[in-house]
Each structure stands twice: as C-alpha cells, then as structure tokens.
Amino acid sequence: MFDFFAYTFGYVLNFIYNMVSNYGFAIILFTILVKLLLLPISIKQQRTMKKSAKLQEQIKALQFKYKNDPQKMNQEMMSLYKAEHMSPFSGCLSAIVQIILLLSVFYLVRSPLTFMKQVPKETIDTYIQQMKEEGKMQNSAYPEIDIIREKGQENEQVKINMDFLGLDLSQIPNQNMQDYRVYIIPVLYIISSFISMKITTAMQKQQKAEKKDEVIDITEKTEGEENKETENEEATPDVAMQTNKTMSWLIPIMAISIAFYAPLGLALYWLINNILMIVERIALNKFLKEEE
C-alpha cells in the first residue's frame, strides 16, 4: 500500500523537480502542495478537537450520573454524539492519513530513484553491486542515495541535483560529522519540533481554560460527592501537564536520533512540514475562534 502512495507522490515530486531542476526546492513545493491538499482534513480535525473539548464536561456528567448503569451511560453518550453531529472515531481518519503520508514520503525520499525517477530495479541493483565492489557503498539503509552521490555525475539516468543552498541533500549527518553544514537542517528541524510542541501545549491550556468558563452542571450532586469529584479533577491537570512536559522533551529527542541518521533530503521535508504545521495551527486557531 505504501509503495502505491510513494509512486503517486513520486510522480508529483518528479513533475515539480523537472520544473525547478533542484531537489531541495522541489521538496519544499511538494510539501506545500500536500499541506494545501490536506487542509480540509486539518480544518475538520481542529473543529472536532474544539467540539470534543467542549463535550468533555457533559461526558463526565453522564459518566457520573450513570456510573452504576454502563448500558444506559453508553446510550446517553451515543445520543449526545448524535445530537452534536459527532462520531467517537472522528479523529481516526486524520491519524490514518498522517501515518500513510509519513511512511509513504519516507519511502519516497529514501528511494528517489525507484519512486521518483522510475529507474528499473535491475539498473539499481547493478549500480549497488558495482559500488560494493568499489567499496563506495556507505550505508546499506539508503543505497539509492549513495548511487546518486557517486554515480549521478556519470549517468543522467540516476542524476538528481541535490545541491540546495550550498548543502548536499544526499549527505547523512552521522557519516559526515566533521562537516558542520550537515547539522544545519537537523538542528532547525529539532528547534521547530520544540516550537510546535510548545504551541500545541499552549493551545491545549487555552482550550481547557475556555472549557472551564463554559461548564454546565448537568447533574445534582451531594456536597460530599462534589468535593470528591473536585479533588479528582484538580489532580488530573497535574498528571496531564507532567505527561505533556515529558512528551515535549521525548519527541524532539526521538527526532534528533532520526534526523541525524537520515539523508538531509528527508530532514528537509520534516523541517518544512513542521514550519507549515506551526503556521497552520496558529492560522486555524484564529480562524475557528472568529468563526465561533
């Protein structure tokens, strides 16, 4: 399945590359195009998240009211979702699309000769064998990147212009650690990951504050029950904040390990995607606020 999407994206990326004759600029334009195509899904996802946040208090009230009758609780919750024109699984589509996109683009950027240039497998295998005999195969994880770097100047069939603003996008940072230039894109990617996490956390806090202002008490609770529930709700934010804090560090650390062991072309895609995601979240958050 991922091969199908990788081939499809490869046609698009190759079309853009033929217009700009530069792999780096082609990746940037390709990333922008993909973001624009996915914009309707992003808007729907943001609306669903905001709507879901507002429903949480009503869901909690139903869970409390029917805690001794799970069947009735499920019925009431489904009625609530139906009345609000929402589905409990409404966020799954966006997650599935993101996973397919992530893996497909990884396949594409890892093997641009196969998916972008449509070079026959026999030709690629011949080059791989030649380079192994010559001792020029640096990394078996990205053999096509090595072919482009070593054989691209000799053969137009496997030539891709990867010179982007003085950076060679075929380079892999952990194989060229003495060249400071290989760190530029991964470091920018890591910084953008931190910024993205900070913005997401800030928006979640803002939504939680707005949700508290709009709380509607649906059930009548005794004073003792109210105090018990209040204690539980007060404890929850601390756990959530700690989890968010841990994730805000864990994800960039994971990003470092990936970015430094992947070709710079892949890191460039992730960097541009992060920047566009930050702009998209800020713009959509403002747009949806005005819409409300």
pLDDT digits (tens, 9 = 90+) for 18-35: 999 999 999 999 999 998
Beta bridge partner(s), residue 163: 168
Residue 187 has pLDDT above 70, yes or no: yes
Residue 262's pLDDT is what? 81
pTM score of the predicted model: 0.76
What is the chain's length?
A: 292
Residue 17 has pLDDT above 60, yes or no: yes
Model confidence band, residue 79 (pLDDT cutoffs 50, 70, 90): confident
How many C-beta atoms lie closer than 10 Å to residue 121's C-beta?
Answer: 9
Residue 214's pLDDT is what? 52
The answer for residues whose C-beta is within 8 angstroms of residue 121's C-beta and 6 or more apart is 114
CA 27, 173, 158: angle at the middle one, nearest 5?
A: 50
Model confidence band, residue 244 (pLDDT cutoffs 50, 70, 90): very low
Residue 130 has pLDDT above 80, yes or no: yes
Q: Are 146 and 263 in contact (CB under 8 A)?
A: no
Distance, in Å, from the CA atom of 187 to the CA atom of 269, rounded to the nearest integer, reads 13
> Which of 243, 288, 218 shows the shortest CA–CA distance to 48?
288
User: Tokens in use for 209?
Assistant: 């504050």
Model confidence band, residue 220 (pLDDT cutoffs 50, 70, 90): very low
CA atoms within 13 A on the CB side of 246: 6
Residue indicated by tokens 């990394």: 139
Average pLDDT of every residue of the chain: 77
Domain boundaries, the chain: 2-117+160-291
Residue 19's pLDDT is what? 95
Mean pLDDT of 272-287: 86
Distance, in Å, from the CA atom of 14 to the CA atom of 195, rounded to the nearest integer, reads 31
Q: Calculate the alpha carbon distances from 221 to 60, 63, 68, 108, 211 in Å.
A: 13, 13, 15, 57, 20
